[in-house]
Amino acid sequence: DPEDSKVKTARVVGYLSSENFSKIKSVQFCKLTHLNIAFANPDKNGNVIFEGDIDTVIQYAKSVNPNIIISISLAGGVLSVEQAANWSLLIDKPENRPNLIQNIINFVHLHRLDGVDVDLEWDAVTVGYSGFIIELKKSLTEHKKILTAALPNNSRFNNINSTALNAFDFINIMSYDSTGPWTPNNPGQHSSFTNAQDGINFWHQLQNVPSEKLNLGVPFYGYNFTYEDVTRSTFGQIVEAAVQFADQDESGKIYYNGRPTIAQKVQFASENAGGIMIWEIAQDSVDEYSLLDVIHKKYTSLKFKTTGLCGN
Rounded average pLDDT over 164-185: 97
Q: What is the pLDDT of residues 214-248, one digit of tens each?
A: 999 999 999 999 999 999 999 999 999 999 999 99
- Asked if pLDDT for residue 281 goes beyond 80, the answer is yes
- Asked if pLDDT for residue 2 goes beyond 60, the answer is no
Q: What is the pLDDT of residues 144-162, one digit of tens each?
A: 999 999 999 999 999 999 9
pTM of the entire structure? 0.97
pLDDT at 4: 58
Q: What are the DSSP calls for the chain, one per residue?
A: -HHHHSPEE-EEEEEEEGGGGGGGGGS-GGG-SEEEEEEEEE-TT--EE--S-HHHHHHHHHHH-TT-EEEEEEE-SS--HHHHHHHHHHHHSGGGHHHHHHHHHHHHHHTT--EEEEE--GGGS-TTHHHHHHHHHHHHHHTT-EEEEEEESS---TT--HHHHHH-SEEEEE---SSSTT-TTS-S-SS-HHHHHHHHHIIIIIT---GGGEEEEEESEEEE-SSSS-EEEEHHHHHHH-GGGGG-SEETTEE---HHHHHHHHHHHHHHSSEEEEE-GGGS-SSTT-HHHHHHHHHHHTTEESSS-TT-
pLDDT at 73: 98
